[in-house]
Structure 1
Amino acid sequence: MAQAADAALQVAQAETKVTSDNPFFHPWNTRFGVPPYDAIKPEHFKPAYEKAMADHLAEIKAITDNKDAPTFANTIDALEKSGNMLGTVARVFGSLTASNTNDQLQKIQREMAPVMAAHGNAINLNAALFARIDTLYAKRDSLKLSKEQARVLERYYIDFVRAGAKLEGKDRDRMAAILQRLAVLSTQFSQNVLADEKEYKLVLTSEEELVGLPEFVRAAAAQAAKERGDEGKYVITLSRSSIEPFLTFSANRALREKAWKAWTARGDNGDAQDNNAAIKEIVQLRIERANLLGYKTFAEYKLADTMAKNPQAVSDLLLQVWEPAKVRAAEEKDDLAKMAASEGQNIQIEPWDWYYYAEKVRKAKYDLNEEEIKPYFQLDKMMEAVFFTANQLFGVTFHELKDVPRYHPDVKVYEVKDKKGQHVAVFYSDNFARPSKRSGAWMSSLREQEKLSGKVTPIVMNNNNFAKGAEGQPTLLSFDDATTLFHEFGHGLHGMLSDVTYPQLSGTSVLRDFVEFPSQILEHWIEQPEILQRFAVHYKTGEPIPKALLDKILAAQTFNQGFATVSYTSSALVDLAYHSLTDAKDLDPDKFERDELAKLGMPKEIVMRHRSPHFTHVFSGDGYSAGYYSYMWAEVLDADGFDAFKEAGNIFDPKLAQKLYQEVYSAGGSKDPMEAYVAFRGRAPKVDALLRNRGLLGTGSRVN
């Protein structure tokens, strides 16, 4: 601990270059106080971090030096008001390193990871600060706190204890060292994955290489080629929105295999960007961290502060779905083999064949194919659809802002207003894949809502990785892409509609296995005819999607769910297995992954949705470690919760929408998640809806 504190103090005492051109040292005169991205340069961040950390430590010292007895106001309120500049710097920096990074930013990211960890340790392991929190927590029942204040105090106490605040001496020092090293390894892991994704491109030039690819795939590949300096050619990248269409339509089996192997080998190529050594060290350090806090495994530690509570509850849920999913996947594989044989292909179905023949089987079973669907799913119209859905449910409207700075020309920014026309939030929408952007889809905040320091409205960001349409042409989405758009927008609404007093409870600051509920329940609206008939219009003719095609899309929603469920659930089970280890000193991640999948009876034709060496959810930070199951846990809630709207006979039922807003979207972390769900639904959730929607009794959840 002494070393961590010394490191933090050295940073705090460093001379900061408060130069006139550093935007972080001056008020932002932008509309709604959005970041002045046009003025922020990489060299501004380190001085800003140094000053912000120094200010934060001074604020903490003022709390601990206070000779008055601890009160909620002089301890918890003061804590909540501290570190504002640091939060701003970190959120802006994070938005750039995730969405538009470069070598200079990545170097700063590597340098700052251990420094920020040391700073966090200097606060979370501060004995004097914890003593004040502990005193308040011990007499919390006599403090006459509001429900929200009681929740804030409880969360501070739990978070500090789980960070190691009760540790002493060598144990405290070791915890600090572990957290610093984990910060370094997590940064290294994510940068390695991004490097593999950025470096790879499958360049196609001949018709033999393009065979089978429909026009929308070729157009996106041509645009990707242009962006990467290969104009006149076609490029397939490792972005999911590029690789999956290629695997779906390419009739060139050898190229499908080549692309699939590159996609699944990210972070696993035995080179400088290989992540296996990092995984081994991360898992071992997490075990040691859990042991220091009195837990046998990291999974036990992590799940103690979730709705699930323990690994057994997670395992029970996943295995309840796993076995029927394998049965369904086996049936699906047989259908694919029959399709290949009918075309004269005497082959064993391999993982790189699945998407290709599944599309053919879907066409045969439902008279449906992606090439027929995509023209009706324009990105711009789907954005209108999410805005319409939010308006119908919660009364909010979105108004594009043309005069605010942004970090990339592709980003669109909107002001959000309530039904009275009052300002609610600012929303950044960044939808396109590019080499400087990490893969996947996510929501983040540039400013969190709170009322403790006056009325502070949120600034929320959604990122997707859609393949951009050719110049002058609309970007066309798959139905899965459109569902992802709704999913991330659900997270966005959770941040934008937050209405709490304390920053600690703002927006998505909820238990990990509840955070996916607001996002996943919103997915259900993209499946509704009321939405599709209005916004799914052909990009050339403007005609709404024909009812016959719409019916086929909806009928096909349980198609291939054995594959999707096996792919996702295997990832969640392997995540749980890693973090149920009691010793990882001899861990070989590749072998461990193979062995765990063999124990589960993983079909050889299906790969994990996220293989270990690029499983950023789990190894690029702590967010979903031992927690990838959260998507399925939340799916129990979202499937059952949307049933309430169906039972009401109105997908925009105003009474239900108001309950959903009041108990979930606006409540942040101010309520116990199960209490919030029951207050919305009127009862506890049932798992039946999940199994039915995945077609395992008889449309699956979007996981990212």
Structure 2
Amino acid sequence: MKIRLMTAAAPAVLGASLLGGCATMPAATEAPARAAPAVPAYDGPFARPSTLPFHAPDFTKFQDSGFQPAMEAGISSKRAEVSAIADSPEPPTFENTIVALEKTGSLLERVQNVFDQLVSANTNDTLDAVDTATAPMLAALDDDMYLDAKLFARVKAVHDSAEGKALTGEDAMLLATTYENFVHEGALLSAGQKAELKQMNQRIAALETEFSQNLTNGTAAAAVTFDSKADLAGMSEADIAAAAKRAEEKGMTGKYVLALENTTQQPALAHLTNRASRQKLFEASINRTSSGGEFDTTKIVSELAVLRARKAALLGQPDYATYQMYDRMVKSPAKAMEFMKGFVPALADTQSREAKMLQDYARAQGDSITLEPWDWGYYAEQVRKAKYDLDDAQIKPYFEVWRTLEDGVFYAATQTYGITFKRRTDLPVYHPTMRVYQVYDKDGSELALFYFDPFARPNKQGGAWMGNFVEQSYLTGDKPVIHNTLNITPPAEGQPALATWDNVTTMFHEFGHALHGLFASQKYPSLSGTETARDFVEFPSQFNENFATVPKALQRYAKHYKTGETIPASLMKKIEAAEKFNQGLKFGEIDEAAMLDMDWHTLTPAEASQPPMTFETRSLGRMGLKTDLVPPRYRTPYFRHIWSNSYEAGYYSYIWTEMLAHDGWDWVENHGGMTRANGDHIRATFLGQGHSRDYAQMYRDFTGRDPRIEPMLNARGLVSKED
């Protein structure tokens, strides 16, 4: 999954180490005088806030060719605003320095919030070129702000002042995070070190953009072509029809094309009866962007890993993971790795037991094979169907996409939080398959706008994510405008849009992020809504997944698209029981990916220079898991989360926050379930709090205690409640 976030900051490890070595700060007057930055004239569609409701973006006014000048104007404008603060002759105060910084960059934010979504969800060559051109500019802008000695002198003066020490609440949090972010970004480095850091940051930004573009294009190019319908035996007629349509769109009428999803395992592997087809699809997935050619990412990864390790060393940290984790709920790489390795014994036993079970099942069916990774999903699905009498063909007819959203996701939110939704057809969108909804608060007042973009496209990044077109802030007076983006297989023409159970849980997951943004109630945008640490931000989303199986909600949305019949309770019991099945793959691939990420980002510069696939092989070999049969959810060359989406040294967050979510849901179940009273409590303790308070304290405010791991182990089927 991807979310557009700027991480906030908690107490900084970096600050302590560097402050110890630098007791004095150069006075602001020591920096040479400078002319005010020139700001190019700009009167395009982003020059002023949109006139649409909630300042929603007016997609009818945007042209691809207009984004580069808009981005450049936004960058120049913010640079000038920041310089004016740094050069102010007035003594530094919280208002004229810290709050003033919070107000900078409104033009750039308006442009970026639209551009970032388009280049992720509906890109083209022009937008990709703008992304390539502006990524180094944005990195330079951040560097010029955070490494400005005069500006940091003002920030530090406020931080150290009696005024600063007397601040409370959000004001105190804003001051602390602003100061810590400056230190984290290198404000305490020497002039020579700052120059070196700027060069690194620009190159890192360019490489991250190049990686993302290569992966999007390489994944699309790696789509697998099959010559006959027989090659796709086992797939549903609707999915085969979609594959035929995809081939036709590529000029290959009579053939069939399966597009790759961003993960290692592909959904079709669970259904293809032809073993050669499974192997062909799996190998295309696992070898994308790593077999040479135009879209290979391994050289990018190698350079990125070295640069990140060098950057950490320059900033006085032992490795990049330690550098990154300064703002986290889990404070160090060692603690995160200890948490992940704690699952290995149970996972290793589960993988060995399940591998034997699948091997035995295959041979019992007369398939004289040795189990390979492209077989695991197929035989697991066969065992699942035999054990639970369950397959996707039974499930999907009950989950029409729009009904799931409106009568399921929205209904659960209405029942729990009192908010309501009304579809709007008068607001423009960037793709015709999207929908827009106005959200009303429990008192009937206007709360937000919500955009939903559910279907996969060749020019769309894989996965699912949430972001803001407009960030909530009492400082600016803005209310949130939020989008959820998914990659559900689009229906063939004339067919309903049906979702798998995984799609359903993803819809609830992403809407959990949306709720985190919808309920934002902060003065400062950098502390608002989802602007939280990487290992806290996934908590509300994973927590919201639990509402998918609440019987009162299911009865509303889980309706057969033809008959209107509610999904049978017996079928849901099978789905819930099956969720605990195949954990050797389901949880194993996630834990492996998280450990691989942490291994990459605890390397020294010399260690990071080894060939990426050599390092990956060594890393996987140390895990004590069956990585030959269950590869990580993302292999190094297509691990977008960590090479371009800011999850480096943070993929463990999904596991950590899953633990929080299961424990939090255990509290809900023990306090009456999906009730309005619980909704108000959830909103008051963490879901509407942004980063206004300490993360651990918010969790204790919610449950009255620290988190426990047992509910997650039980939910995963790794232990029983009795154990």
- State the TM-score, normalized to the length of structure 1: 0.94
Matches within 5 A, 1:277-676: 277-384=299-406, 385-453=408-476, 455-583=477-605, 584=607, 586-603=609-626, 604-621=628-645, 623-648=646-671, 650-676=672-698
The amino acid of 1:619's aligned partner reads W
The amino acid of 1:490's aligned partner reads G
| SS of residue in 2 equivalent to 1:421 | coil
The question of whether the paired residues in 2 share the 8 Å contact of 1:433 and 1:466 is answered with: yes
Greater CA drift, 668-677 or 200-209: 200-209
Give the length in aligned residue pairs: 685
The amino acid of 1:328's aligned partner reads T
- Quote the Cα distance in structure 1 between the aligned partners of 2:501 and 2:471: 31
The amino acid of 1:485's aligned partner reads M
1:241–1:431 CA distance, 2 compared to 1 (3 A): farther
The question of whether the paired residues in 1 share the 8 Å contact of 2:49 and 2:110 is answered with: no
- Distance apart, 1:235 and its partner CA: 2.1
- Quote the Cα distance in structure 1 between the aligned partners of 2:624 and 2:154: 52
Matches within 5 A, 1:46-445: 46-139=68-161, 143-230=165-252, 233-239=255-261, 244-384=266-406, 385-445=408-468
The question of whether the paired residues in 2 share the 8 Å contact of 1:307 and 1:514 is answered with: yes
Tell me the residue number matched to 2:31. Answer: none
- Distance apart, 1:355 and its partner CA: 1.1
- Distance apart, 1:386 and its partner CA: 0.6
| Cα displacement string for residues 313-348 of structure 1 (whole angstroms, at most 9, x for unaligned residues) | 111110111221121111111121122112211111
- Distance apart, 1:491 and its partner CA: 0.7
- Quote the Cα distance in structure 2 between the aligned partners of 1:117 and 1:484: 32
- Quote the Cα distance in structure 1 between the aligned partners of 2:244 and 2:418: 40
Unmatched 5+ residue regions in structure 2?
1-33
The amino acid of 1:641's aligned partner reads G
- Distance apart, 1:441 and its partner CA: 0.7
- Quote the Cα distance in structure 1 between the aligned partners of 2:59 and 2:308: 36
Higher relative contact order (CA 8 A, sep 6+): 2
- Quote the Cα distance in structure 1 between the aligned partners of 2:445 and 2:252: 47
Tell me the residue number matched to 2:9. Answer: none
The question of whether the paired residues in 2 share the 8 Å contact of 1:374 and 1:479 is answered with: yes
- Distance apart, 1:12 and its partner CA: 5.4
- Distance apart, 1:207 and its partner CA: 3.4
- Quote the Cα distance in structure 2 between the aligned partners of 1:241 and 1:375: 24
Tell me the residue number matched to 1:6. Answer: none
- Quote the Cα distance in structure 1 between the aligned partners of 2:238 and 2:195: 56
| Cα displacement string for residues 646-680 of structure 1 (whole angstroms, at most 9, x for unaligned residues) | 112x3213333212111212111111111001001
- Quote the Cα distance in structure 2 between the aligned partners of 1:646 and 1:24: 46
- Distance apart, 1:44 and its partner CA: 1.0
The question of whether the paired residues in 2 share the 8 Å contact of 1:221 and 1:242 is answered with: no
- Distance apart, 1:231 and its partner CA: 5.5
1:197–1:667 CA distance, 2 compared to 1 (3 A): same
Greater CA drift, 612-621 or 296-305: 296-305
Greater CA drift, 207-216 or 656-665: 207-216
Tell me the residue number matched to 2:30. Answer: none
1:186–1:12 CA distance, 2 compared to 1 (3 A): farther
The amino acid of 2:416's aligned partner reads L
- Quote the Cα distance in structure 2 between the aligned partners of 1:409 and 1:222: 22
- Quote the Cα distance in structure 1 between the aligned partners of 2:210 and 2:562: 45
Greater CA drift, 212-221 or 661-670: 212-221
The amino acid of 2:97's aligned partner reads T
- Distance apart, 1:143 and its partner CA: 4.8
The question of whether the paired residues in 1 share the 8 Å contact of 2:37 and 2:83 is answered with: no
The amino acid of 1:336's aligned partner reads L
- Quote the Cα distance in structure 2 between the aligned partners of 1:140 and 1:505: 23
- Distance apart, 1:564 and its partner CA: 1.1
The amino acid of 1:372's aligned partner reads Q
The amino acid of 1:552's aligned partner reads K
| SS of residue in 1 equivalent to 2:327 | coil
The question of whether the paired residues in 1 share the 8 Å contact of 2:415 and 2:675 is answered with: no
- Quote the Cα distance in structure 2 between the aligned partners of 1:585 and 1:301: 16
The question of whether the paired residues in 1 share the 8 Å contact of 2:164 and 2:172 is answered with: no
- Quote the Cα distance in structure 1 between the aligned partners of 2:234 and 2:596: 35
The question of whether the paired residues in 1 share the 8 Å contact of 2:303 and 2:609 is answered with: no
- Quote the Cα distance in structure 2 between the aligned partners of 1:670 and 1:586: 40
- Quote the Cα distance in structure 1 between the aligned partners of 2:105 and 2:409: 34
- Distance apart, 1:293 and its partner CA: 1.6
The question of whether the paired residues in 1 share the 8 Å contact of 2:158 and 2:164 is answered with: no
- Quote the Cα distance in structure 1 between the aligned partners of 2:315 and 2:200: 13
- Distance apart, 1:240 and its partner CA: 5.5
| SS of residue in 1 equivalent to 2:536 | coil
The question of whether the paired residues in 2 share the 8 Å contact of 1:222 and 1:470 is answered with: no
| Cα displacement string for residues 121-171 of structure 1 (whole angstroms, at most 9, x for unaligned residues) | 111111111111111111367653231100011110111110111112110
The amino acid of 2:465's aligned partner reads W
- Quote the Cα distance in structure 1 between the aligned partners of 2:227 and 2:63: 39
1:522–1:91 CA distance, 2 compared to 1 (3 A): same
The amino acid of 1:425's aligned partner reads A
Tell me the residue number matched to 2:25. Answer: none
- Quote the Cα distance in structure 2 between the aligned partners of 1:666 and 1:359: 40
- Quote the Cα distance in structure 1 between the aligned partners of 2:163 and 2:423: 47
The question of whether the paired residues in 1 share the 8 Å contact of 2:233 and 2:272 is answered with: yes
- Distance apart, 1:234 and its partner CA: 3.1
The question of whether the paired residues in 1 share the 8 Å contact of 2:98 and 2:155 is answered with: yes
Tell me the residue number matched to 1:3. Answer: none
- Distance apart, 1:698 and its partner CA: 3.5
| SS of residue in 2 equivalent to 1:572 | helix
- Quote the Cα distance in structure 2 between the aligned partners of 1:536 and 1:418: 25
- Quote the Cα distance in structure 1 between the aligned partners of 2:560 and 2:37: 58
- Quote the Cα distance in structure 2 between the aligned partners of 1:180 and 1:108: 15
The question of whether the paired residues in 1 share the 8 Å contact of 2:542 and 2:658 is answered with: yes
| Cα displacement string for residues 459-508 of structure 1 (whole angstroms, at most 9, x for unaligned residues) | 11111001011122211111111111111111111111101000110111
1:26–1:579 CA distance, 2 compared to 1 (3 A): closer
The question of whether the paired residues in 1 share the 8 Å contact of 2:223 and 2:260 is answered with: yes
Unmatched 5+ residue regions in structure 1?
1-8, 700-704
| SS of residue in 2 equivalent to 1:111 | helix
| Cα displacement string for residues 33-71 of structure 1 (whole angstroms, at most 9, x for unaligned residues) | 211112211221122122222221221122122222111
- Residue 25 (structure 1) aligned to one of 32, 38, 47: 47
- Quote the Cα distance in structure 1 between the aligned partners of 2:403 and 2:436: 16
The amino acid of 1:427's aligned partner reads F
The question of whether the paired residues in 2 share the 8 Å contact of 1:640 and 1:689 is answered with: yes
The question of whether the paired residues in 2 share the 8 Å contact of 1:236 and 1:243 is answered with: no
The amino acid of 2:174's aligned partner reads V
- Quote the Cα distance in structure 1 between the aligned partners of 2:63 and 2:362: 54
- Quote the Cα distance in structure 1 between the aligned partners of 2:326 and 2:97: 26
The question of whether the paired residues in 2 share the 8 Å contact of 1:618 and 1:626 is answered with: yes
Percent identity over the alignment? 39
1:57–1:588 CA distance, 2 compared to 1 (3 A): same
The question of whether the paired residues in 1 share the 8 Å contact of 2:39 and 2:77 is answered with: no
